[in-house]
A and B are shown apart, each in its own frame.
Chain A
């Protein structure tokens, strides 16, 4: 884990209170979207190292199904959920299963040959294709109605500070990985930094004015001219920053606890901070596409906050018979499900800004994993779970597919978001078209 020193200062002067009035003075911050249609959003959440099939997949299909323990934290959202068994990452090619599981997950395309060696198989490089989140981003950004300031935001939680096919799932293009930001303070800076900078300036402009007046009074008329101009400009900026119109953010900027160090043991707090920022950025329409990446493929997080000292990846290798490991993995995966539930709850509790219903009604959350099962490294039966009404799918069901390429899931989501592409990733896996999740 990172050990960045604490950055208390990032919580600059009175954030929301001081910052709000001049938000609208910077309209470019928030894009120029005033769309009339419904805002569709896509959020993809990743957790690593496979699941425990026996504690994950419902025993029955259809709309009448019971949630197994790992999914139980999501019980409240069962009617807005699709559990999709039988969807497989069949891309193949260079790289070990973790690499392909991670970097082909959202792309459906093979890895380029390369110089990164896994624990087995051949070395490989970055993905050779764009990922679905970036595809939808490009689609939204190409239309003024759906364009937002950022287009997409990539959140991370405890992602190690290194760039390789195990740590990147989002790709702008072949060989163009998009790095997640796993420092909430850095993300806050990205979202609101400009405002905070201005706020910092406001905090000293008074002093600057006072000092200018003091000096100016001692000068001769001719020498004073330039200084007086300077003073005028300082005042103009004060005025601009303080008295712009009163449009407000739909949701105030979240206040982050300034004391959280970016260390492993603070992961639960960091996770919640990131989720709060994510929901906030969606609520303020800074973006309509977001990813949330927990750790990385082969991640060895030691979840001491769950009383587990072992590394996650190590545990995931243990045979099914190892009951202790099994029990720990259940707790780990339930913890992830809990974070997903928190995200879902936040969206469900937030009324759709300027629209009807809640934000969850207009958001599709996709929970993904790079493996189906940790100790077999299979890329089959990846635990895909969909939540929310953003795609217009027929929710509240448990579905069983027959070794279906996951490319078809991404096609279905692209189509649901209005992006009617014929193929996504490797064309041969798209021959049967998008999965039908509507009827």
Chain B
């Protein structure tokens, strides 16, 4: 097939109108135009491609499909022409400073011209900045031509014949947020059952022990019901129990025995688990008085037994304490990181209003308003989690995974704003974080200890004497107060490269703390915890078994679960905002609540498999069950769906009906038009993400105009017609059979027997990447094919590697992808084992630790190890 870079030409030269459709189509950009030039195993590009794909899905209501423009049949020639033109421009405008082959010119620009930008980014850079003295000389098509030429001539890693290298990287946005949360979290220790119990004892109230029901509960909220007496809203506790959620309508009555219906008070407390990272909305609906705290740093006034206390308190997320004679609904928004627990407390009282009721709802990211389920709550409280709110510019995804590829002014401003935010939070909480009071005798020492530990954690290693002096001691000497010194230490360390560039230190001579840092970055997107730092300090990471032991320990942590779930969202293109809503004339039942439930259902399926004992990748494709709740059963259930009940339950289907995630209604709906299935979108998803085959870009896009087809056609017939051109079929011979296999599912993923009053046809012939011809009769055949396909396995391995490590997999040795794949197969496709292998490979890179038989022979381990750096230990 030769060099497919050539196909970028039609895209460049086609009319603006056509070009405008291109990104909507397969998210094509020139960076992906050389798929064929790359080892198919190397699905860096595959990954890159599918990432570009997702924006279209949100615009599916614009029905679009690709066909060749007749002119583009000569696409390769056109690209050749473009590159010739680029070469000519390069010789006249660039070679003077950069050398004939980009080798550099002494006295001009003496560095070789190579790097890791995509063709498009390179064109953009050239257009904006080159030639240096006259950037307007080479812009637009000229810049694109130069980029196309130099990319393949000498700029790209492939052109240089070098494998990709491990690139310097800053923290990604996710890594920044997770690191800060854990950093501050290291200093907090909240006593569950703390404030209110202690306060109660101090105030001489009844000293009853907590009932077993509450002590043993792992779900729901702790509820304390009080009798009131006028102004004293919590006069006497009458009842203590676990409530599954807060959704009560007491009418004109009393909430419990012995409580006067005219006035009473209830406090619900515990924590709530955020399922995914993002802004969470909360809503309180009541005609009475209520205050809601979420992720608050509770102060004495927040647990008071009198509502007229003047003790300092947190600003509630929702303050609806004063009623107004009518039902009120108030909302508040708060950013929470997925997979973590957050303190929640709801204080409620009734005083002489005619009726009483209270409902607490939330709208999690990608969710809809709902009363949180019992399983969303834990009845014990936790310390506040430090969540940075400063907005960050999006991370680079040009290689298909988020990575800290570059620093920009916007990013630095964000990092500065975030550092100020953290410094302010540390300042506000300094007494509890440092375990001292302003009038403590050892205040200064406590603050200095806090500061040293803080810097050490941000740097992921013990401080050298020089660092201790520069980052801590001098601040305490020069600041006006020790509190101000702490603030400066925080700002200084959070703006320093030791924190922001976690790979900085390990490029030349990785030591045990670098290994620890890699483990934490890869498994948690965060900082090493103190256990890991201690293990590193005591030599526990000096041998491979010690490293593996830590991986094992760290995998069994909510942060790893959270990162793995994010990975699957990435793989299934569920990250980002996505509009699944359908034509409500055709699918009136498919409302935002159903979409939210489907997302939870898919999350449950993923977590059920990944964290089961076998953690079998193949089950993701082959499982014959869905997790459904009552609302979903109505749409997707079968005769075996069981009786109505709380929460989600596993519902098993006939094997022909459902087959793993590819038949999950969430993904089927995501890859569909607003009023029908879309075999093309489903087919492209299956091709790139599930079967793991790269696709060439369609050089020209046209709209899929539903109205222009014979109205009696089925969707399959329309797609067949619009892609029948031979040129189209070079890709659509792969895409269509895969997409058609899912024609048994309508636009919302329900099983169907007919489309447009004709029986659906799910049978097609398909040629595998090794050239074998097979016949698919439906979704399960595709799933089975993928589950047994080395290509698919390799794509999964690469995809996981890139998401976890955020570096090109071949930078760890040319044989690393294949070795990891082989091991994956040997381990019965155990996903957790694969994760551990990936993390091990990355963690020990450049050290003298070895995984026998899986290290590539030509990469010599470097000599330095932790033990050669005593100053760090």
Interface residue ranges, A against B (CB under 8 Å): 1-6, 8-9, 11-13, 112-117, 123, 125-126, 160-165, 174-175, 197, 200-201, 203-205, 207-208, 211-212, 215, 219-223, 225-227, 229-230, 233-234, 236-237
Contacts and interface: CB of A to CB of B under 8 A. Distances in A.
A230 B231 contact: no
Q: For the complex of A and B, list the 5 residue pairs with the smallest distance between their C-beta atoms, beginning with the closest.
A: A113-B325, A9-B483, A112-B324, A115-B351, A233-B412
Given A117-B231, A126-B322, A1 B406 contact: no
A81 B328 CA distance: 44
B437 A5 contact: yes
B471 to A, nearest CB: 8
B170 A226 contact: yes
23 contacts: A4-B312, A5-B437, A9-B483, A113-B325, A115-B323, A115-B350, A115-B352, A116-B351, A117-B230, A123-B351, A123-B352, A160-B310, A162-B307, A163-B319, A211-B470, A215-B498, A221-B111, A225-B168, A226-B407, A227-B168, A227-B501, A229-B407, A234-B495
B484 interface: yes
Contact-residue size bin, chain B (C-beta under 8 Å from the other chain): 35 or more
Interface string B281-317: 0000000110000000000010000011111110000
Contact of A9 (B325, B352, B484, B498): B484
B572 to A, nearest CB: 32
Contact of A200 (B170, B319, B350, B488): B488
B349 interface: yes
Contacts of A237: 412-413, 416
Nearest to A165: B322
B440 to A, nearest CB: 11
B487 A114 contact: no
Contact of A126 (B324, B419, B507): B324
A25 B413 CA distance: 15
B515 interface: no
B759 to A, nearest CB: 59
B409 A233 contact: yes
A9 B324 contact: no
A26 B322 CA distance: 39
Interface of B: 111, 168, 170, 230-231, 288-289, 301, 307-313, 319, 321-325, 328, 349-353, 406-409, 412-413, 416, 419-420, 423-424, 427, 431, 437-438, 470, 480-481, 483-484, 487-488, 491-492, 495-498, 500-501, 504, 507-508
B430 to A, nearest CB: 8
Given A9-B487, A126-B324, A162-B309, A227 B497 contact: yes
Given A114-B323, A211-B496, A230-B407, A1 B412 contact: no
A230 B301 contact: no
A237 to B, nearest CB: 7
A230 B497 contact: yes
A211 B413 CA distance: 19
A2 B310 contact: yes
B495 A117 contact: no
A208 B501 contact: no
A9 B481 contact: yes
A220 B483 CA distance: 38
A114 B231 contact: no
B322 A115 contact: yes
Contacts of A223: 168, 504, 507
Given A207-B470, A226-B168, A227-B501, A13 B480 contact: yes
Given A113-B323, A115-B352, A212-B496, 8 more contacts: A3-B311, A5-B431, A115-B289, A115-B353, A164-B308, A212-B497, A227-B168, A233-B407
Given A9-B427, A226-B168, A215 B504 contact: yes
A162 B231 CA distance: 13
Contacts of B310: 1-2, 160-162
A201 B416 contact: yes
Which of B231, B409, B497 has the most CB atoms of chain A within a 10 A radius of its CB? B497
Contacts of B419: 201
Contacts of B308: 162, 164
A386 B380 CA distance: 55
A166 B487 CA distance: 38
Contacts of B507: 219-220, 223
B420 A200 contact: yes
A235 B500 CA distance: 17
B491 A204 contact: yes
Nearest to A11: B480
A208 B322 contact: no
Nearest to A123: B352
A5 B427 CA distance: 12
Given A222-B168, A229-B407, A125 B322 contact: yes
Contacts of A204: 488, 491-492, 495
Which of A6, A160, A229 has the most CB atoms of chain B within a 10 A radius of its CB? A229
A163 B322 contact: yes
A127 to B, nearest CB: 10
A212 B497 CA distance: 7
Nearest to A196: B420
Which of A4, A112, A174, A204 has the most CB atoms of chain B within a 10 A radius of its CB? A204
A201 B419 CA distance: 9
A200 B487 contact: yes
Nearest to A128: B324
B420 A197 contact: yes
Given A212-B497, A219-B507, A226-B407, A115 B288 contact: yes
Contacts of B352: 115, 117, 123
Contacts of A236: 409
B245 to A, nearest CB: 23
B443 to A, nearest CB: 11
Contacts of A174: 324
A141 to B, nearest CB: 24
A5 B424 CA distance: 16
B302 to A, nearest CB: 11
A12 B484 contact: yes
A114 B483 CA distance: 44
A192 to B, nearest CB: 14
B484 A215 contact: no
Nearest to B466: A214
B431 A208 contact: no
Contacts of B412: 230, 233-234, 237
Nearest to A207: B492
